[in-house]
A and B are shown apart, each in its own frame.
Chain A
Amino acid sequence: NAGVTQTPKFQVLKTGQSMTLQCAQDMNHNSMYWYRQDPGMGLRLIYYSASEGTTDKGEVPNGYNVSRLNKREFSLRLESAAPSQTSVYFCASSEGGASVTEAFFGQGTRLTVV
């Protein structure tokens, strides 16, 4: 049982390049999330998916797109990377629905945009 797995762990991009962060969970969770973590700002929600087939914007969605490929997988795409997107990105999942339970996090992706 791997939990939440995200790739890659580290990435350096040049301004204007694109990339996709991959996330998969094996806990049969309904809800999945993408957060970014910046010093002193906690975890801010970029996008979420309440259930398979649905996605919605969070607090800081500009510059990102997401795809809920199936119940297991939720990817985050940066179409044209900017230095302001330098951050640590975490994918997370939770049961969702009527069950209010903890969120399980992936190991994080440290992204640097130069």
Chain B
Amino acid sequence: GENVEQHPSTLSVQEGDSAVIKCTYSDSASNYFPWYKQELGKRPQLIIDIRSNVGEKKDQRIAVTLNKTAKHFSLHITETQPEDSAVYFCAATQSGGYQKVTFGTGTKLQVIP
């Protein structure tokens, strides 16, 4: 089955700096890669996603890149703010009768004011 590895597990950055979180996946059948943000005590919520036919996607301060050949994708947050502090999960998804979603183990991001 699919295996998703996520690094680092924790990340501390100064406010205004950039943060990068990396994920690798194993199954070339995965074709949709969402990123979720989970604030303390809250539910995971989608912040950005990318499909396998796209190499990069941006949404304001957040961007995601995908390298299908190497089977890795990354989340980039620029000009970090304290409210970016949260746990971030990557996921690899395969279409089918149901969406087979495999999550990474999460990255706890701390933005230091």
Binding site for B on A (CB under 8 A): 30-31, 33, 40-45, 48-51, 90, 94-103, 105-108
Contacts and interface: CB of A to CB of B under 8 A. Distances in A.
B34 to A, nearest CB: 5
Nearest to A4: B43
Main SS at interface, chain A:
loop
For chain B, give the interface size range.
Answer: 20 to 34
Interface stretch (B61-69, B75-83, B89-97): B89-97
B89 A102 contact: no
Nearest to A95: B99
B97 A50 contact: yes
Interface of B: 6, 9, 31-32, 34, 42-46, 49, 51, 89, 93-95, 97-99, 101, 103-106
Between B89, B94, B97, B104, the greatest number of chain A beta carbons within 10 A of the residue's beta carbon is seen for B97
Contact of A102 (B31, B46, B95): B46
Given A40-B105, A41-B105, A42-B103, A107 B97 contact: no
